[in-house]
With several copies, the nearest count.
Chain A
Amino acid sequence: MLPLKDYRRYGRQMILEGFGLPGQVKLKEASVVVVGAGGLGCPALQYLAASGIGRIGVIDHDVVELSNLHRQILHTETTIGMPKALSAAKAISVINPQSKVEAVVQALSPTNATELLAPYDVILDCTDNAPTRYLLSDVAVALRKPLVSGAAQRFEGQLCIYNYGENGPCYRCLFPKPPAQETVGTCEETGILGAVTGIIGNLQALETIKIIAGLKDQAPSLLLFNALQTPPFRSIKLRNKKPACAACGSGAKTRGMIDNTDYVQFCGGPPANWVERGL
């Protein structure tokens, strides 16, 4: 099933009870796409590659900037100016030359998202803005794939698996209406402690590995993290999917909705810096 070298490389996880050779083979045969190669995407990609996932996609249209480097640990001073997707792909190819890495330097949009995400088993939301989060959720519903979603700002992080299992909710089940734009900060505006994105991105990799290996239960939950609080982690029991949900509900026409939604307008229109960034 596996080349001899893989037994040596992955031996420490293959002797895990409940994982074993079948778990490693599942990782090798699996494909995962990480949308966003920033603070969350970098650590997620790193541990996904190291674990032996067979095929990994990286989608990001941004380029590396000096202000990213305090948290986006796959990029370096020498890759400043390079598209993040390429910089990250290069870095994880060094971590694991056996993983097939596919870099996409494009902004995700309603017209290309379905096609770009369809070839993968699991989707990771490592993005940094509300419109793309709604778009990713809708596409994950349309493609019937689990969406491992992370977010981080200031000293806080949030982790949730959407559209997973029989009854798992989608992003719209939880947040049918987008927040008003003035309530939404970005890492540029509100700041972010690097290690916080590391912890959430790492947890996204772990949850993805659990899903692929069949170790993940299906009870919908949300993990909250606050680096300054005691206790720092809080696990929340979430609602099931909602029959009336516009995206995943019983009568929903998700694909049509994706084609006809202007996600930026839906989320209150572009703030100045989104326009610059081509969203």
Chain B
Amino acid sequence: MASSVSLKIEFGGGLELLFANQSSHKLTLPKFVPISNSTSLSSLSSSNLKDTDTESATSDDAAIPDGLKRVDVTYLLHHLRDHLLKERPELFMDKETVRPGILVLINDTDWELEGEGEYELKSGDELVFISTLHGG
């Protein structure tokens, strides 16, 4: 198992307009990330952690370095806001979660059934962010 997770991200319902008008994105995140959800060092921490991680593939309880956590949806939200979003972050996030009117789907399942922000991401996961539509 690698020291990073590869994700497929989709935006719909108009949210893609905030992300360079592109609905499909591929993304790689480090397997361990700051508990603070700070994304400024993400690529750095990714390479730092490579050695620690590669041999601990199957031992899920391997020591997690201080100040880090397994990468989860909350971290992904911060990463998307900080690195992929092109404009107006308030149209995507509100405090530490998505703004009202956005639904998050993990592998075609409502994120509420998967632990919401605490869901730990694994390679191959597909995340969809959809803004609810009101027109008719």
- B-contacting residues of A (Cβ < 8 Å)? 17, 36, 38-41, 126-130, 133, 150-154, 156-158, 174-180, 182-187, 190, 192, 197, 222, 224, 226, 229, 234-239
Question: Is there contact, CB below 8 Å, between B109 and A158?
Answer: no
Question: Is there contact, CB below 8 Å, between B136 and A128?
Answer: yes
CA distance A157 to B14 in the complex (A): 11
Question: Is there contact, CB below 8 Å, between A192 and B12?
Answer: no
Residues 65-102 of chain B: 1 if any A CB is under 8 Å from the residue's CB, otherwise 0? Answer: 00000000000000000000000001100000001111
Interchain residue pairs with CB less than 8 A apart (21) = A128-B135, A133-B134, A151-B132, A151-B133, A151-B135, A153-B134, A154-B14, A156-B14, A176-B100, A179-B131, A180-B90, A180-B101, A183-B91, A183-B101, A185-B14, A190-B135, A197-B136, A229-B23, A236-B108, A236-B109, A236-B128
> Pick the contact of A234 from B102, B108, B131 — CB < 8 Å?
B108
Interface size class of B (residues with CB under 8 A): 20 to 34
Q: Which residue of B lies closest to A196 (CB)?
A: B135
With contacts A180-B101, A187-B136 known, what are 5 further pairs, Cβ within 8 A?
A128-B136, A133-B134, A151-B132, A175-B103, A177-B101
Chain B 1-42 residues near chain A, CB threshold 8 A: 12-14, 21, 23
> Pick the contact of B108 from A130, A174, A197, A237 — CB < 8 Å?
A237
> Pick the contact of A158 from B21, B23, B112, B132 — CB < 8 Å?
B132
> Contacts A179-B101, A224-B12, A234-B128: A153 and B91 contacting too (C-beta < 8 A)?
no
Q: Which residue of B lies closest to A154 (CB)?
A: B14
Question: Is there contact, CB below 8 Å, between B13 and A158?
Answer: yes
- A-contacting residues of B (Cβ < 8 Å)? 12-14, 21, 23, 90-91, 99-103, 105, 108-110, 112-113, 128, 130-136
Question: Is there contact, CB below 8 Å, between B101 and A236?
Answer: no
Question: Is there contact, CB below 8 Å, between A236 and B131?
Answer: no
Question: Is there contact, CB below 8 Å, between B136 and A239?
Answer: no
CA distance A155 to B95 in the complex (A): 30
Question: Is there contact, CB below 8 Å, between A41 and B136?
Answer: yes
Provide the residues of chain A in CB contact with B110, threshold 8 Å.
222, 236-239
> Contacts A127-B136, A151-B135, A235-B108: A174 and B103 contacting too (C-beta < 8 A)?
yes
Question: Is there contact, CB below 8 Å, between B131 and A183?
Answer: yes
> Contacts A183-B91, A183-B99, A226-B12: A126 and B136 contacting too (C-beta < 8 A)?
yes
Provide the residues of chain B in CB contact with A130, threshold 8 Å.
134
10 shortest interchain CB distances as A-B pairs: A179-B101, A177-B100, A151-B133, A153-B135, A187-B135, A128-B136, A239-B112, A40-B136, A237-B109, A153-B133
CA distance A153 to B131 in the complex (A): 11
CB distance from A259 to the nearest CB of B (A): 23
CA distance A115 to B134 in the complex (A): 24
Provide the residues of chain B in CB contact with A234, threshold 8 Å.
108, 128
Q: Which residue of B lies closest to A41 (CB)?
A: B136
Question: Is there contact, CB below 8 Å, between B133 and A157?
Answer: yes
Question: Is there contact, CB below 8 Å, between A156 and B13?
Answer: yes
CA distance A156 to B10 in the complex (A): 14
Q: Which residue of A lies closest to B88 (CB)?
A: A182
CA distance A40 to B133 in the complex (A): 13
Provide the residues of chain A in CB contact with B12, threshold 8 Å.
156, 224, 226
CB distance from B26 to the nearest CB of A (A): 16
Question: Is there contact, CB below 8 Å, between B133 and A129?
Answer: no
Provide the residues of chain A in CB contact with B21, threshold 8 Å.
17
Provide the residues of chain A in CB contact with B131, threshold 8 Å.
179, 183
CB distance from A222 to the nearest CB of B (A): 8
Provide the residues of chain A in CB contact with B100, threshold 8 Å.
175-180
Q: Which residue of A lies closest to B109 (CB)?
A: A237
Provide the residues of chain A in CB contact with B105, threshold 8 Å.
236
> Pick the contact of B113 from A39, A133, A151, A237 — CB < 8 Å?
A237
Question: Is there contact, CB below 8 Å, between B133 and A158?
Answer: yes
> Contacts A234-B108, A235-B108, A236-B108: A175 and B135 contacting too (C-beta < 8 A)?
no
